[in-house]
Amino acid sequence: MPVFVPPGVIGHNRSLVTRNYAVLPPEGMFPSALPWLTKASVFYQTSPVMGARFAQGRLEAEPGGGTTAPRQDGLEHFLYILAGTLDIAADQDSASLEPGGFAYIPAGATWSLRNNGAETAKAVWITRPYVPAEGVARPDPRFGTRETTPVTRVDDSGRWRQYLLGTLDMSMDFEMNIMGFDRGTHFHCVETHIFEHGLLMLEGQGLQLLDRDWHEIWEGDFIWMGSFVPQQFYCTGWGGAAYLLYKDVNREVTF
């Protein structure tokens, strides 16, 4: 009698890690427990160990889970809620965030987070050292939602954007944008630039060019793109697509 071999049992998967980019679907990721989190863990997707200049992962907090005490770690943080509810505080500001809600925590702020809901909360979590700019005041904590962030259409290209933390704000050393594509549309060129990216597919599917190869990406997939990696996105499938995009900006080259 033939033996059924389930897909993936001999290592077939879509994961790929190279010197300057990585494609990581959610299956196969393992959680990291941290001493200052309770009933919560982080599925790291990229970090300086990979070659990135920031860290990004998926935070998962069970009901009642979160930070064990208010923290002041000297880093800046961004969280975007994917599922459940997270109560986030930064200095004197706080908000209860549902899916599509987001928070920016500036470096030096005292912050905490807690899942006070009844289901597991999941959130994109980005952290990095802040790079100050001469003569520019540091940013304050910011809270918002995707629903209330304006949608900017790119002419009649079928592409649109949402600038969650604004754009060309010199107090910020990174942006968080949602990039959207109508069915069958694509980015207008093959990009090659100094900016580094962390990309999380929020909805839909598409083909992503990385260096010389095309990769099919689906909802939940993560991509790290280092500086100067040729890249382009083409929306496939029956509907539109959108992804959350980290981008380092507004700072000089370091030597």
Q: Look at residue 136 and tell me whether its pLDDT is greater than 90.
A: yes
Over residues 141-196, the pLDDT tens digits come to 999 999 999 999 999 999 999 999 999 999 999 999 999 999 999 999 999 999 99
Domain presence at residue 231: no
- 43 versus 10: the higher-pLDDT residue is 43
255 inside domain:
no
Taking all residues of the chain, what is their mean pLDDT, rounded to a whole number?
Answer: 96
- pLDDT value for 18: 97
Task: Kindly tell me if the per-residue pLDDT of 4 is higher than 70.
Answer: no
Task: Over range 15-30, report the average pLDDT.
Answer: 95
Assigned domain for 125 exists: yes
CATH code, domain with 99: 2.60.120.10
Residue 8 has pLDDT above 80, yes or no: no
Residues 215-241 have a mean pLDDT of 97
Instruction: Identify the domain containing residue 56 by its residue range.
Output: 29-144
Predicted confidence at residue 86, as pLDDT, reads: 98
Inside any domain, residue 108: yes
pLDDT value for 5: 62
Q: 94 forms bridges with which residues in the sheet?
A: 89
pLDDT digits (tens, 9 = 90+) for 41-51: 999 999 999 99
d(CA 85, CA 120): 8
Cβ proximity of 126 and 54 under 8 Å: yes
| 132 within a domain of the structure (yes/no) | yes
Residue 41 lies in a domain: yes
Q: 97 in a domain, yes or no?
A: yes
Q: Is residue 39 part of a domain?
A: yes
Render pLDDT for 71-130 as a digit per residue (tens, 0 to 9).
Answer: 999 999 999 999 999 999 999 999 999 999 999 999 999 999 999 999 999 999 999 999
In angstroms, the Cα distances linking 238 to 102, 178, 203, 235 are: 28, 20, 12, 9
The pLDDT value recorded for residue 7 is: 64
Three-class secondary structure assignment of 186-237: ECCCCECCCCCEEEEEEECEEEEEECCEEEEEECCCEEEECCCCCEEEEEEC
Q: How many domains does the chain have?
A: 1
Nearest residue to 113 (alpha-carbon basis) of 59, 74, 33: 59
How many angstroms separate the CA atoms of 42 and 68, rounded? Answer: 15
- Give the confidence band of 28 by pLDDT, cuts at 50, 70, 90: confident
